[in-house]
């Protein structure tokens, strides 16, 4: 075991097999994601699912419940509950579709923009502080790995 900032950690070893790499990445990515989720403001009263949907709507614009569910890899009834929560908080609104009035699209409200920006700012600041602890060579490796990780996340 090694110690970083007084906390015991396992010594990181490069996995020798693809299965080992998959396992190591799964654990590391899950821990990093959990740590970033913890950076949200508790006063926001938003779940990780709420924040994920806000981010998706911010990136893609207005979407139907089905489109949101597909992008977030959840079932439409689950997405309906998430969207209802966002609407109750004044962060999203449902509107009739422009081409087919029977279709409902979900759009962010102006209040959502401030929530999204503050959440991203807080998480980026935490991650930037962590990156400063790495060597320049380690940061370069992460710069090269970032597009690959993004590609994996979209598969």
Domains in the chain: how many in total? 1
pTM over 0.85: no
Domain enclosing residue 78, as ranges: 37-154
| 39 SS3 class | coil
Q: Is 8 within a domain? A: no
Compute the distance between CA of residue 108 and CA of residue 100 in angstroms, rounded to an integer.
Answer: 20
Q: In a 3-state reduction of DSSP, which class is residue 15?
A: coil
Q: pLDDT tens, 109-141?
A: 999 998 888 888 999 999 999 999 999 999 999
Q: Is residue 149 part of a domain?
A: yes
- pLDDT tens per residue across span 37-93: 887 766 568 888 998 999 999 999 999 999 999 999 999 999 999 999 999 999 999
Is residue 117 domain-resident? yes
CB contact set of 41 (below 8 Å; sequence gap of 6+)? 118, 119, 122
Contacts of 71 (CB under 8 A, 6+ apart): 56, 60, 63
In a domain? residue 94: yes
Residue 24 maps to a domain: no
pLDDT at 8: 43
Residue 4's pLDDT band (cuts 50, 70, 90): very low
Q: Is residue 32 part of a domain?
A: no
Q: Provide the CATH number for the domain around residue 125.
A: 1.10.10.10
């Amino acid at each position: 075991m090694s110690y970083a900032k007084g906390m015991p950690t396992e010594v990181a070893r490069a996995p020798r097999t693809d299965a080992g790499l998959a396992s190591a990445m799964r654990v590391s990515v899950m821990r990093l994601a959990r740590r970033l989720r913890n950076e949200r403001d508790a006063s926001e009263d938003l779940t990780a699912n709420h924040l994920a949907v806000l981010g998706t709507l911010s990136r893609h614009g207005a979407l139907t419940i089905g489109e949101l569910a597909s992008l977030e890899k959840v079932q439409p009834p689950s997405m309906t509950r998430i969207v209802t929560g966002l609407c109750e908080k004044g962060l999203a609104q449902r509107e009739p579709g422009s081409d087919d009035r029977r279709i409902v699209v979900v759009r962010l409200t102006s209040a959502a923009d401030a929530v999204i920006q503050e959440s991203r700012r807080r998480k980026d600041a935490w991650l930037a502080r962590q990156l400063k602890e790495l060597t320049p060579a380690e940061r370069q490796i992460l710069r090269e790995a970032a597009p690959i990780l993004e590609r994996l996340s979209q598969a």
